[in-house]
Amino acid sequence: MTSRPLRALAALLVTVLAGAGCGAPEAPPRAWHDGRIFLATGNTTGVYYQLGGGYADVISRHLPGYEARAEPTGASVENVTRLAGGDMEIAFSLADTAADAVAGRGVFTQPQPVRALARVYRNFTHVIVRADAQVTDLAGLRGRRVSTGSPGSGTDIIAGRLLTAAGLDPDRDVRRVTLSLPETAKRMRAGTLDAMFFSGGLPTPGIADLLGDAPGTFVLLPVADLLEPLAARYGSVYTTAELPAQTYGTPAGTPTVTVANVILVPADMPEQLAYDLTRLLFAHQGELAGVHPEGGNFNQQTASGTDPIPLHPGAARFYQGG
């Protein structure tokens, strides 16, 4: 089997040459030909990584002939790029990033050959500020040191859109850095950041640790009031919900912006394999929920609602009872 570093290098070469308009070489052989499946997840202290590990275990134990492994990544944008480039076989992504990918807009210069297996749980946008910064709304971040998430992440995209909706230029009006969740939390504790964004399921382990280790030091900022300008520009992909007080032991719930997550595969994945991977999500959902509560927060009735991201034919056959 081709090694992970060589496959990653080949996938990167394909992406670079395609972006430059050159005749790109063929993508590296998909790992499923060797019975291997690699899952692109997210930061190691996020829900994607936990659930991805659980899904990989389910595949390895319940899909004969295959061994799966979850890989930490910078999340949505990186995941889509690596999936399309041949370096990954399954990827978690925010639905807004996936919608941009299939349409070839935003950070994607052309449509990406990805399809959905399922729409799963919702991500909640966490905007956290240091209490001593005395910031009460997003406009108050002007001039502040702000982490908008890992480079190539859905969090970074949502953060930029929210800052813009609040009347700020994300690259000029705040002192923006793009850092992973572990590095962001480290700098928030050290006082070298004033605020941070993270889009994740509930609870996100890295945020639970940050807020739990220093009660009263940090505050969750409400941003649900920005839904209208977001919807006017990006449609119905965003919704609002209250981040419950009991999730992180905060004094009150926090109204915020949410977006669904999707599980993606390459468009060229064999139909039967996509069918089986979708079936496992529901046949062994109890095992996923045991890894993280969000593993139980989806069902067959809602999982097929991935529009505008097309379902893979194998997934569509599963939902149709085929």
Share of the chain above pLDDT 70, in %: 91
Are residues 277 and 313 located together in one domain of the fold? yes
Residues 276 and 240 occupy one common structural domain: no
195-200/114-130 β-pairing = antiparallel
Confidence of residue 4 (pLDDT cuts 50, 70, 90): low
- At 149, which CATH number? 3.40.190.10
Which pLDDT value is given to residue 152? Answer: 79
Last residue within a domain, chosen from 231, 259, 287: 259
Are residues 49 and 115 both part of a single domain? yes
150 and 111 within one domain: no
Same-domain pairing of 183 and 206 = yes
For 304, the domain range is 26-121+261-319
CA 243 to chain centre: 18
Are the C-beta atoms of 63 and 36 separated by less than 8 Å? no
Q: 271-290: per-residue pLDDT in tens?
A: 999 999 999 999 999 999 99
27-81 confidence digits (pLDDT tens): 568 999 999 999 999 999 999 999 999 999 999 999 999 999 999 999 999 999 9
**pLDDT score at 235:** 84
Quote the number of domains for the chain.
2
With respect to residue 291, please indicate whether it lies within any of the assigned structural domains: yes
* Nearest alpha carbon to residue 193 among 154, 145, 233: 145
pLDDT band of residue 236 (cuts 50, 70, 90) is confident
Last residue of one domain, picked from the residues 207, 236, 259: 259
Do 128 and 151 belong to one domain?
Answer: yes
Query: What's phi and psi for 117, nearest 5 deg?
Result: -95, -40
State the average pLDDT over residues 92-112: 96
What are the C-alpha distances in Å from 229 to residues 96, 114, 164, 282, 297?
15, 28, 9, 36, 28
Looking at residue 185, its pLDDT comes to 97
Q: Residue 128: what pLDDT?
A: 98
Residue 16 in domain: no
Q: Is residue 21 part of a domain?
A: no
Q: Is residue 11 part of a domain?
A: no
Is residue 285 in a domain? yes
Q: Are 220 and 101 part of one and the same domain?
A: no
Q: What pLDDT, on the 0 to 100 scale, is given for residue 29?
A: 80
Whether 201 and 230 map to the same domain: the answer is yes
- Contact by Cβ (8 Å): 124, 258: yes
